[in-house]
């Protein structure tokens, strides 16, 4: 049987930052010349992002600076600081499990799935490391059966949610009773640091924090009816881009290289990658494209000759939440599950881009629960009489 996403839950930290506030904080750092400040204003203002969320309460309004925190990112005057990697990771260890559990609880509740039904946990993150890790903590925090089978996908970057769904689909195919809880949690702002480097400015203008969880099963009796059938997956490496999107561990946080070539490479390669994935199938009715940034969506739209509203769900998530790395595509799919305009049987193509450059693809079908009509009710009453 085909595995399906029963439900998707999302969670974000309470600190919500307007993009113009983030811009002004970054532009106020010491040591910037006039050109760097102009570049910061131009990049942040062109991002098509209105708000982002962060676990960093230093940037709340009003700011909350706790000197007991292992890593502090702003001083009393609001100037950006650059803590070392170890303390940053300590904040990840303290903040990530709670956000992970919140997204998972939301998915379970929305899907009508009891935690005791979960047989597998697949967690995803590229913004922090610890062991026993997020998969272990999730079992403890949700009170799942201690025999739940677990795996963690780390350091795959923005594309990782689709490989995680592929793993969940494969698990469901091998065990008819499998109920797989997939959770992506990314605290990207923990790696913010002062910089006048153009690539770091771009990264600082788009990345944000969030978590999203999906319940995947092939058992049609589990949870609420409907959802998204997971029809098939694909992976492609582009001909170039190995050095244009890179994620490494530095002394002052994880360092993201995001060159200006990334949107151009995606624009050149996307038609071929999608064409190979879809084969002879007709184009899908709905698109869920990871918004690495506004220019990435623009290039995908142009490269695939899509109508102007085809990526509306992706642009809305980018506007309201920014780029939350792997969690972002699940936020988009969650919005499509709530969208009444996505009809039963509509095919949805999911696309996400990771370091390399890697293009991950998924083809899904929207399944809406059957709605009982008056005739159905009459027949049921007659049968029970």
Residues recognised as catalytic: 158
Q: How far apart are CA 342 and CA 348, in angstroms?
A: 9
Look up residue 175 and give its two tokens: 């065990």
Beta bridge partners of 288: 350
Look up residue 231 and give its two tokens: 């029809």
Q: How far apart are CA 326 and CA 311, in angstroms?
A: 18
Torsion sign (Cα): 142, 143, 149, 151: positive
What is the pairing mode between strands 149-154 and 120-125?
A: parallel
For 349, half-sphere exposure in the C-beta direction (CA atoms, 13 angstrom radius) is 23
Residues 6+ apart with CB under 8 A from 375: none
Q: How far apart are CA 247 and CA 158, in angstroms?
A: 10
Helix axes 19-27, 198-206, angle to 10 degrees: 150
């Amino acid at each position: 049987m085909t595995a399906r996403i029963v439900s998707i839950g999302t969670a974000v930290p309470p600190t919500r930052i307007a993009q113009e506030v983030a811009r002004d904080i970054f532009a106020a750092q010491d040591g910037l010349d006039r050109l760097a400040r102009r570049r910061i204003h131009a990049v942040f203002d062109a991002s098509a992002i209105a708000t982002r969320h962060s676990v960093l309460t230093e940037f709340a309004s009003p700011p909350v600076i706790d000197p007991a925190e292992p890593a502090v990112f702003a001083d009393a005057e609001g100037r950006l600081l650059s803590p070392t990697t170890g303390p940053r990771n300590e904040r990840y260890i303290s903040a990530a499990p709670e956000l992970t559990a919140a997204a998972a609880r939301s998915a379970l509740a929305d899907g009508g799935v009891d935690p005791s039904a979960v047989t597998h946990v697949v967690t995803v993150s590229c913004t922090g490391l610890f062991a026993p890790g997020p998969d272990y903590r999730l079992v403890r925090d949700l009170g799942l059966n201690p025999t739940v089978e677990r795996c963690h996908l780390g350091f795959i970057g923005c594309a990782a949610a689709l490989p995680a769904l592929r793993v969940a689909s494969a698990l469901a195919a091998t065990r008819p009773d499998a109920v797989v809880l997939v959770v992506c949690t990314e605290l990207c702002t923990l790696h913010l640091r002062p910089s006048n480097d153009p690539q770091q400015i771009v990264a600082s203008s788009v990345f944000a924090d969030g978590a999203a969880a999906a319940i995947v099963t092939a058992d049609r009796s589990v949870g609420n009816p409907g959802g998204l059938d997971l029809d098939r997956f694909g992976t492609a490496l582009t001909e170039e881009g190995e050095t244009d999107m890179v994620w490494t561990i530095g002394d002052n946080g994880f360092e993201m290289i995001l060159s200006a070539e990334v949107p151009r490479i995606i624009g050149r390669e996307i038609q071929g990658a999608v064409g190979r994935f879809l084969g002879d199938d007709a184009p899908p009715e709905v698109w869920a494209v990871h918004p690495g940034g506004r220019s990435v969506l623009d290039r995908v739209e142009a490269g695939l000759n899509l109508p102007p509203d085809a990526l509306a769900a992706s642009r809305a998530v980018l506007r309201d939440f920014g780029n939350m790395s792997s969690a972002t595509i699940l936020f988009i799919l969650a919005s499509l599950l709530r969208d009444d305009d996505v009809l039963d049987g509509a095919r949805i193509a999911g696309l996400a881009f990771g370091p390399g450059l890697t293009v991950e693809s998924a083809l899904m079908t929207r399944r809406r629960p059957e709605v009982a009509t008056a005739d159905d009710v009459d027949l049921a009453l007659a049968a029970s009489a």
